[in-house]
Structure 1
Amino acid sequence: MFATSVASPALPEALWPVPASTLRWDSQEHLFHEGDPVSAIFTIESGAVVIYRTARDGCRQIHGIRFQGELVGIGYNVTYGVSAVAVRPTSARAVSRATLDRLLDNDPTLARQMMRALTSELRRTSNLLMVIGSRTAIGRVAACLIDFSNRAADSDDTFVLPLSRGEMGDLLGLTIETVSRAMTRLKVLGIIALRRTDTVTIRKRATLLALAEEDGDGAARGRLCACSEARCTRYPPNEMTTTENRRPPVH
């Protein structure tokens, strides 16, 4: 469904070198930057980490977010191909790249586990491209909310958004205005409730899931509905569409 709904499997406890290092970062502190030498991979113990790339003109594209039990820093060669920044206070267990390479040479079980983790990364990327390319604006936001709910530590219908509206736009290929309108529309329809701007309660999960999984020919035009204006029965025409789809460059 949504790209980040495919969780990277953490390394089994027994396969971590002993002792494994536990590191901590404050909110907005980087684990590593794109282009840094690959020094370690990390399994998140608490918090959340955003994965992103920066274009030559300084624009940022968020590739995903990692939560408790998921891996950060896999799939890269000599240098990291992305940046990783904590979006809330975060702790993670770290194993050095040199140590991991030695373990992989001698432990086929660990090698298979890493292969599964890399496969999950590929599925994550493929699914994100599908969401951005074929979902309506409201469908993208719905998919994002379902994903965050499924991966929350308590797997509850009430959860704290790990991303701001602007960051959700960076992830979903939408403007901040479009994300805000979609969130408001979901609230007005009673599909979600917003206790605060960063706290979401899913009230109609089946409806939200249906929106998240619905393809539509209006997606490329950024509609809040997959129906055409002439035959839409879900939303009033004057509230159904938006002319903006792609988020403009953010420097």
Structure 2
Amino acid sequence: MIDPDHMARLAQYSHRLAVSPGKTFIQEGEAASDFFIVTSGHAKLFSLMPDGRRQIMGFAQAGDFLGLASGATYAFSAEALGSLSLCRFSRSGLALLRREFPDLENRLMEEASRELVQAQKSMMLLGRKTARERLASFLLEQHQRSPTREIVIHLPMSRTGIADYLGLTIETVSRTLNALQREKLIAISQVTQITLLNLPALEVLARGG
């Protein structure tokens, strides 16, 4: 995530966008002429499968770059989860950004790499892990991405979105979360709020232990 101190300065070189809930602002396959920084809210990233179904590839939050690692065209679509604010930068202005913010050069490279790493993590989740391991990995990922690393995590995505991301059915997600709660690894306060009661045990589970 980008340093908050830079956000206001970067905004001067961008177009600000307010995206309404459910609206797609990056379309897979279109020319990747811009990249984005999420300034508030959340977005889901997805790709369309040959049969028309969506495969959710990840979720973005404030401070995340989107589209920075794209080639000539976007490799995914992005849709707002609730109200979303963005800064949009043209790729033609990227050289200007690098001149104005030389200390961001490494940060931009890190963010581009993060997009690729996230895609690789998604493939590993779908390819090798059990449902319990996938849910534990997902919950830890949300915890690690929280700025304050609170054990209470707030999930802006639906159970259906989580299921699509993890390659599971919504029934399996609900059943597995309930099992983790019975084992006192988590506490489900409400649909969008989960408390991580035993981080070490979740970490062991996520690793396949």
| Structure-2 change in CA distance of 1:73 and 1:177 (3 Å) | same
Residues 200-221 of structure 1, C-alpha deviations (whole Å, 9 max, x = no match): 1111222122211226xxxxxx
Q: Alpha carbons of 1:133 and 1:179: their partners in 2 closer, same or farther (altered >3 Å)?
A: same
TM-score (normalizing by structure 1) = 0.73
Offset of residue 113 of structure 1: 3.2
Partner of 2:17: 23
Unaligned residue ranges in structure 1 (runs of 5+) = 1-7, 216-251
Taking the aligned partners of 1:19 and 1:120, their CA distance within structure 2 comes to 23
Asked whether the 8 Å contact 1:73–1:80 carries over to 2, the reply is yes
Distance change (3 Å), C-alpha of 1:124 and 1:11: farther
Q: Look up the SS of the partner of 2:82 in the other structure.
A: coil
Instruction: Tell whether the 8 Å contact from 2:126 to 2:166 is kept in structure 1 after alignment.
Output: yes
Written as runs of structure 1 = structure 2, the 5 A alignment for 1:177-196 is 177-196=171-190
The alignment status of 1:168 with 2:175, answered yes or no, reads no
Q: Does structure 1 retain, via aligned residues, the 8 Å contact 2:11–2:87?
A: no
Percent pairwise identity: 29
Q: Distance in 1 between matches of 2:81 and 2:116?
A: 23
Determine the structure 1 residue equivalent to 2:82. 88
3-state DSSP of counterpart to 2:44: strand
CA RMSD, aligned part only?
Answer: 2.5
- Pairing partner for 2:61 from 52, 67, 70: 67
SS in 2 for 1:23: strand
Whether the 8 Å CA contact 1:68–1:153 is kept in 2: the answer is no
Q: CA deviation at 1:131?
A: 2.9
| Residue 118 of structure 2 corresponds to residue 142 of structure 1 | no
Aligned CA distance change for structure 1 residues 190 and 148 (closer, same or farther; 3 Å): same
Change (3 A) 1:17 1:201: closer
Task: Point out the structure with the larger strand share.
Answer: 2
- Structure 2 runs not aligned, ≥5 long: none
**Runs of 4+ deviating beyond 4 Å:** 8-12, 101-111
1:197 pairs with one of 191, 198, 201 = 191
Equivalent residue for 1:41? 35
User: For residues 94-141 of structure 1, what are the alpha-carbon distances to aligned partners after superposition, in whole Å with 9 as ceiling and x for unaligned?
Assistant: 211221155458986554433222222222222232333332211100
SS in 2 for 1:163: coil
Larger radius of gyration: 1
